[in-house]
Structure 1
Amino acid sequence: MTSVARSKAAAAKATLAVRPSAGFVSTGELRAISERALSYLQVGFPVHFRGPAGTGKTTLAMHVAAQLGRPVMLIVGDEEFTASDLIGGQTGYSYRRVVDRFIHSVVKYEEDAVQRWVDNRLTTACREGYTLIYDEFTRSRPEANNVLLTVLEERMLVLPTMTRSESYIKVHPEFRAIFTSNPQEYAGVHGAQDALSDRLITIDLNFYDRETEAAIITAGAGAHPSTALAVVDVVHALRASGAYSQMPTMRAALMIAKVLTERNIQPSADNPAFVTLCFDVLASKLKYSSDREQREQQRQLLLDLIRRYCS
């Protein structure tokens, strides 16, 4: 198998064949966001979903990508990324040996070794016209992402000239890109360079309204709608109280509703199993204090919220 064939075979394994999910909750708010993003992508502009953890950025990116009907190449931002992790590089050698026996009494040998190039995911997406989802792209260093500038603007991917015969490739007309990032995260996150941000159409996401989140929890956890509403109300109230060090998100509500459904636990303040579950999931979000009295006050706050919405 040639190096080109090996590269294409590896790329085929790395792609995702995404399809519209039957379980995706398409409320009016989510439908409007999806339609806006899809309209920008169809024109050719890259889209950037920006929002705090738990707002469904990656799920929404996958859903929108499915509407495009192209294979998806997924990249997750990483502090250790370099440009070669996006575009590719040399991986070992290809060896060739020629034996010349044209004159039976004379044997000639020719041997050479050529470094083998393998495309990485960005190069494959650009070459084949796939949809690129770059999840949490600000976790990668800006210098690693610089290669995207000409891809998004000039529709051209510049390759290392010292490592292969091609110096650049033209980006396939079907290539599209969706980015996600969390502006509130600070650990291991870099600021996106202005030159890259200027090329993106950014759609800011936030936590959804009560009915939308409850519908998502109902679908995601298989919970009864009344159960989903009760859990969402507790999480929303804790979020509104401001008494947390880590914002409680829809993921917390999904965890609680999933356990309730699987274990057949009733969401009632009079049910010790339910109260314990809420504390196990939500108490870790509260502001930590070494003062025992203050910790008791925080726990009482959470207990009061449970009693208010799950009486």
Structure 2
Amino acid sequence: MADDSSRKRKVRGRKIRSDRSRKESRQAKKKLARKSSNGTSSSSAQSGDGPLSAPEAVAPDPFIETDAVASLRSRITGWLEAEKPVHLIGPTGCGKTALALSAAAERGRPVVWINGDESVDTAALVGANAGGERYKETDQFVGGVSKKTEVVRERWVDNPLSVAVREGATLVYNEFSRSDPSAHNVLLSVFEEGVLERPGKRGEDRTIDVHPEFRAIFTSNDVEYAGVHRQQDALLDRFVGVHIDYYDEETEREIVKSHVDLSDEDIAAIVAKTRTLRDELDLVVGTRAAITAAKGLAVFDGQRNGDGDGEPDEFDDELLTDVFMDVLAPKIAGEGPEDVSQLRTQIAESV
């Protein structure tokens, strides 16, 4: 007869295998969508090559759609239909990116993704010369005379913004406010005159007329976050801003449940503790933290309080403290041991 620890290992293994199976299934669906996508305006969207992606390939999976989520997405798609760029603003871990991708996929147009950071400049958005093509021509038309001519042609490569405006794609610009504001000057003419200028490009095709189906969704953390830049008012004035906060408790439970194989009672307890820590700690404790904590607790599922009261066994308090400490400790990385000790004390008291 197997001992109790063996049974716990089997339970833990089953949960891990189940989680992996669901993940592999989602990846297979997205891969199939990339191969079989049709109705897009570019062959690169169908093949998965280049910055264009088929809408089916970027749609978040899993994606929970409660009334609160559907209402927010409806606002976003409504503004897109009104031909306005939408700026989603809110704390980290509240689901801005998933919401943006879901709204983009719902349009049924190709999607172009940009991730903002300090290295993004104008060239990273619109394109640049990627070296030259050099070759020689030899003319021996006259006997005994050899004439050689060296020809150099510049090779221009379009980057995501140029591709999106030309193909009528939905641009999803994640972490928009982490990029230098000077990189975004080119967006002013896109949203005002319907023309994209490509600095460094010569000739008549220096500009691209913006496709009538082009739309843009931007996501940003609140301005108090480290590494966030205040963007120019002239550009922000052309956006509509939709502020996103953490969802209601029911929605958070459904989101966590879609990622982890745990009982409804366990999910409810984890979400409740996450929301309590969110209120009590001077840290950002997002829905992502609840998902991570739930995944950890699914692995350590065998450690329960068996108090014999006939009710479902709860997770051990010390285990809960350890798991939430591990999830939230990176937020105070680099601070002193007293801060680490204080955080653990606050989590333990809350648990």
Sort the Cα spacing of 1:212 and 1:119 in 2 relative to 1 into closer, same or farther, 3 A: same
1:265-289 alpha-carbon deviations (Å, 9 max, x no partner): 4673536434422332246658998
1:260 aligns with 2:314: no
Partners of 1:265 and 1:273 within 8 A in 2: no
Q: Which AA in structure 1 matches 2:207?
A: Y
Q: Hey, what does 1:276 align to over in structure 2?
A: 322
1:171 aligns with 2:217: no
Q: C-alpha distance in 2, partners of 1:78/1:107?
A: 53
Partners of 2:186 and 2:197 within 8 A in 1: yes
Give the counterpart of 1:143 among 164, 182, 185: 182
Q: Which AA in structure 1 matches 2:119?
A: E
SS state of the match for residue 112, structure 2? strand
Sort the Cα spacing of 1:287 and 1:60 in 2 relative to 1 into closer, same or farther, 3 A: same
SS state of the match for residue 118, structure 1? strand
Partners of 1:265 and 1:274 within 8 A in 2: no
Sort the Cα spacing of 1:106 and 1:298 in 2 relative to 1 into closer, same or farther, 3 A: closer
Q: C-alpha distance in 1, partners of 2:342/2:166?
A: 59
Q: Hey, what does 2:29 align to over in structure 1?
A: none
Q: Which AA in structure 2 matches 1:134?
A: Y
1:302 Cα offset (Å): 2.2
Q: C-alpha distance in 2, partners of 1:190/1:132?
A: 20
Q: C-alpha distance in 1, partners of 2:102/2:169?
A: 15
> Structure 1 length normalisation: TM-score?
0.85
How big is the alpha-carbon RMSD for the aligned residues of Structure 1 and Structure 2? 2.9
Q: Hey, what does 1:3 align to over in structure 2?
A: none
1:174 Cα offset (Å): 1.6
| Matched ranges for 1:1-311 at <5 A | 12-19=49-56, 20-21=59-60, 23-160=62-199, 163-241=202-280, 243-244=281-282, 246-265=283-302, 268-270=314-316, 272-282=318-328, 299-306=344-351
Q: Which AA in structure 1 matches 2:294?
A: A
Q: Which AA in structure 2 matches 1:251?
A: R
Aligned sequence identity (%): 38
1:101 Cα offset (Å): 4.0
Q: C-alpha distance in 2, partners of 1:11/1:110?
A: 39
1:111-167 alpha-carbon deviations (Å, 9 max, x no partner): 211221111111111111111111111111111111001111211101226645423
1:45-67 alpha-carbon deviations (Å, 9 max, x no partner): 11111101011111111111110
Q: Which AA in structure 2 matches 1:273?
A: L
Partners of 1:288 and 1:295 within 8 A in 2: no
1:258 Cα offset (Å): 1.1
More off after superposition, 188-197 vs 101-110: 101-110
Q: C-alpha distance in 1, partners of 2:210/2:270?
A: 47
Sort the Cα spacing of 1:141 and 1:291 in 2 relative to 1 into closer, same or farther, 3 A: closer
- For structure 1, the residue ranges without an aligned partner over 5 or more in a row are 1-6, 307-311
Partners of 1:52 and 1:184 within 8 A in 2: no
Q: C-alpha distance in 2, partners of 1:27/1:156?
A: 38
SS state of the match for residue 13, structure 1? coil
> Structure 2 length normalisation: TM-score?
0.76
Q: C-alpha distance in 2, partners of 1:250/1:228?
A: 12
Q: C-alpha distance in 2, partners of 1:168/1:42?
A: 25
1:13 Cα offset (Å): 2.6
SS state of the match for residue 147, structure 1? helix
Sort the Cα spacing of 1:223 and 1:291 in 2 relative to 1 into closer, same or farther, 3 A: closer
1:3-45 alpha-carbon deviations (Å, 9 max, x no partner): xxxx999993322323244521101011011011111112321
Q: C-alpha distance in 1, partners of 2:325/2:272?
A: 15
1:247 Cα offset (Å): 1.8
1:90 Cα offset (Å): 0.8
More off after superposition, 68-77 vs 98-107: 98-107
Q: C-alpha distance in 2, partners of 1:141/1:291?
A: 35
SS state of the match for residue 221, structure 1? coil
1:187 Cα offset (Å): 1.9
SS state of the match for residue 49, structure 2? helix
SS state of the match for residue 113, structure 2? strand
Q: How many residues align?
A: 297
Q: Which AA in structure 2 matches 1:261?
A: A
Sort the Cα spacing of 1:291 and 1:88 in 2 relative to 1 into closer, same or farther, 3 A: closer
